Structure 1
Amino acid sequence: MALVLPAVSRLRPLLLFAGLALAVVATEHLVTTRPIFFQRPALPMAVAFDVLVGLPALFYWLVVRRYGLPLSTLVAALGACLALATWLLPAGQQQPLRALAFLPALLEGATLALAVARAGRLWRAYRAARQHRGRGPSLGQALEQVLGWPGVLLVAESNMLRYAVLGWWAPLEVRPAHAAFSGHRESGFVALMATAGFLTLIETAAVHLVVGHWHPVAANWLTFLSLYTVLLLVAHAHAVRLCPVLLSDALLEVRVGFAWRVVVPRAAVAAAAIREAPAPAADMLNAAKVLLASSNVLLTFAAPVVVAGPYGTRRTVRRLALYLDQPRAFLGALAGGPAA
């Protein structure tokens, strides 16, 4: 019972979103099945706005922002909302959705054209970056520099697929002369991810059967997006397991899966203590949310540092809250002599 209550508390924002989303969908379904819906031309646009803007906004505020999830989850939510809007709106009232049908193809074509046009710059950037970093990281850095936002998306999705597919056999991403500190063993993080993935698969089967009775195409899209979500959960679990916090005699590298990463000189840490994260503030980042855990280490930096987030996002912070399996050992190594 003691283990169930913390798990429920962690899932409270997700459950709140699920309740609000069900209420919105029920309301929109009631509106679209009334005779007045076909007499008011503005109603289809209003329903499309509620589903394609309102629901993703709720998902971002209550789930993505609360847990610090990658923005790819928001992209998946947008796709699910598009399928939901297609199911809700009758066939003759889907004018607001027709303009969106070509959006994925346009984005893919624009990204491909941009990559071809900048192939020469991409090769030069890759060669320059490879002199300072490994082959894999240098390619990602070159893509981000040359392609801009499309390159950031491509690198993020490639990393996600790499962890999801190859993470089962990949070794820990550690380096010589670095002490490694994990953050997934004692929190039950892997069990939570496995439970979330299993529940998602069950829900996917049930939703496919129910929605498929009325709209097979929407059911297939929802199934695809649910399976993508499971893939994302698998990748997140592997990334957290394979990317511990690293401490050397000169540097501190904090990695929380592929969600947050910051590398600072060891001397840049002005204070470190075992404590939970204080109240949310503009100068603090609680990276433990990505682990669905309460933080137990608070780092305070001598000057603001830039933390790299998913999909090219950046946060400038003075305080960083973490969850570590062995917080006292980490603080002892940080304050003591050689780290490894």
Structure 2
Amino acid sequence: MTLRISNQSWVWFVLLATLILLANVSLYRVEFTQPITPMITIGSFLDFIVTIPILAYFLIIRRRLSIKYLFPFIGAGYVAAWLIIPATYFQPLSAAKYILFAVEGAFIIFELVLIAFLLKRLPLVIDTFKSEKERIPFFKDRLENSFLTHFKPSKFLFILISEISVFYYSLFAWKKRPSHIHFKAFSYHKKTSTIALNIMIIHALIIESIGFHFLLHQWSPIIAIIALVINIYGLFMLLAEIQAVRLCPYLLSDQNLILQTGIMKKIDIPLKLILSVNEYTRSSPLSKQELASIFDAAPSDFIKEKPQIEIILKDPIQASYLYGMTKKVNTIHLRVDDPLLFLNTLKNKIES
């Protein structure tokens, strides 16, 4: 499954959707827009259930995802309308909820059927997962391989794999140690501040969650709870990233170089596809076109450092990201704690 949604697409969607939301919030709270006529209310309602989903379709869904993924945006738009449009204006529009509920109900039933099908085959998935422990050392890779052995690839499946991985690393991996019996391992986080950066963000997130929750609660308790849930999920994501960085070093075997950076991104490179591997010496900035075909394996840090090593491939291969997103790349940039050892070991493997 190939899914390519650029950061720019997400930025534009979030920016435009936020502007629409703010415009509608202001509409009902600014004095000079009063009085609100029924036609204005209908237009406002259509912003939530039509305009924002259309933005989602053209910026995120089109040519990347099934049209069924438009339904959650429509449902979220209805919830936003119910929260933002005052009850006195919203009452005449409440009948629309039955149509939306019917559509959302069909979507939910479809997903429940998928879950039931998944549960039926779960014992087979668990058996495959246990049997592949030595061959596939990383939890997320082993989980993905186990599911794809018994199920066809789907967006739902990749989301499920990502969610299980997030909660595994954030809650159950604290006493684990890196396990890579048949691989040469290279750490990449000990000489960076990536763990310190994530810990700092966690502290800021906790403080922001407490303060912002009480401020939002004065305006809308429901939105305050939604924001709190999102922040708690972000906390799990950061904890998972810390643990995955620690437990997933770069691995080198006789056939492959596996670069998994935390929980967010990963690439598996057959050594026979490597054209060259050298120290990174370029001083000029990279163009957007060049960046589009580069896999940056370096972890996040307070200050973005230049890569130490550049790997050029003979042919483009697919890099994997969280939630099943992928990207074709022909160049890999990375930093490791011992770059000279990594460079010499990899060159020897390629030559042999």
Q: TM-score, normalised by structure 2?
A: 0.70
Native 8 Å contact 2:194 2:299 kept in 1: no
Instruction: Give unpaired runs (5+ residues) of structure 1.
Output: 1-14, 61-76
Once residues 114 and 86 of structure 2 are traced to their aligned partners in structure 1, the CA distance between those partners, rounded to angstroms, is: 37
Contact 2:25 2:84 in 1 (8 A): yes
Q: Calculate percent identity across the aligned residue pairs.
A: 20
Q: What is the CA distance between 1:323 and its match in structure 2? A: 3.0
State whether residues 261 and 307 of structure 1, in contact with CA within 8 Å, keep that contact through their aligned partners in structure 2: yes
CA displacement at 1:103 relative to structure 2: 8.0
Counterpart for residue 110 of structure 1? 110
- Deviation digits for residues 153-186 of structure 1 (CA, Å, limit 9, x no counterpart): 21110000000002322212x4125332222222
2:280 counterpart of 1:283: no
Bigger Rg, structure 1 or 2: 2
Q: 1:241 to 1:268 in 2, by over 3 A?
A: same
SS of 1:169's equivalent in the other structure is: coil
For residues 201-250 of structure 1, the C-alpha deviation after alignment (integer angstroms, 9 at most, x for no partner) is 22211221111112212211111111111111111121122111112343
How many pairs are equivalent? Answer: 308
Distance 2:210 2:218 in 1: 13
Could you say which residue in structure 2 is the equivalent of 1:169?
175
C-alpha separation between the residues in 2 aligned to 1:128 and 1:169? 24
Q: 1:160 to 1:101 in 2, by over 3 A?
A: farther
1:200, 1:226 within 8 Å by CA — same for their partners in 2?
A: yes
Residues 49 and 75 in structure 2, CA contact (< 8 A), matched pair in contact too: no
SS of structure 2 residue aligned to 1:336: helix
Q: SS in structure 2 opposite 1:171? A: coil
CA distance in 1, matches of 2:242, 2:58: 25
Query: One-letter code of the match for 1:288?
Result: A
Could you say if the C-alpha distance between residues 191 and 118 of structure 1 is closer, same or farther in structure 2, counting changes exceeding 3 Å?
closer
- 1:213 aligns with 218
Whichever residue aligns with residue 90 of structure 2, its letter is Q
What is aligned with 2:147? 143
8 Å contact kept, 1:52–1:85: no
314 and 42 in structure 1: CA distance in 2 versus 1, 3 angstrom threshold: same
TM-score, with length taken from structure 1: 0.72
One of 266, 279, 286 as aligned partner of 1:261 = 266
Name the SS for the 2:288 alignment partner. coil
Match of 1:319 among 323, 328, 331: 331
Name 1:93's counterpart in structure 2. 90
Q: Note if contact 1:86-1:218 (Cα within 8 Å) is conserved in structure 2.
A: no
Q: Which amino acid aligns with 1:143?
A: F
Q: Residues 1-340 of structure 1 correspond to what in structure 2 (within 5 A)? A: 26-33=22-29, 34-39=33-38, 40=40, 41-46=42-47, 86-91=82-87, 92-93=89-90, 95=93, 98=97, 109-117=109-117, 140-144=144-148, 145-146=150-151, 148-172=154-178, 174-275=179-280, 278-281=286-289, 282-288=292-298, 293-296=304-307, 297-336=309-348
User: For 1:289 and 1:16, how far apart are their aligned partners in 2?
Assistant: 25
Contact 1:178/1:247, CA 8 A, preserved across alignment = yes
CA distance in 2, matches of 1:336, 1:23: 55
Unaligned residue ranges in structure 2 (runs of 5+): 1-10, 61-72
- C-alpha contact (below 8 Å) 1:129/1:142 kept by paired residues: yes
Kindly provide the amino acid, as one letter, of the partner of residue 305 in structure 2.
S
Q: Distance in 1 between matches of 2:56 and 2:143?
A: 36
Q: Deviation of residue 107 (structure 1)?
A: 5.4
Q: Deviations over 1:279-325 (max 9, x none)?
A: 33343222337567435122111222222222222222111122323
Instruction: Say if 1:126 and 1:138, in contact at 8 Å, map to a contact too.
Output: no
Whether the aligned pair in 1 keeps the contact of 2:294 and 2:333 (CA below 8 Å) is yes
**Farther off after superposition, 250-259 or 137-146:** 137-146
Residues 259 and 290 in structure 1, CA contact (< 8 A), matched pair in contact too = no
| SS at structure 2 position matched to 1:254 | strand
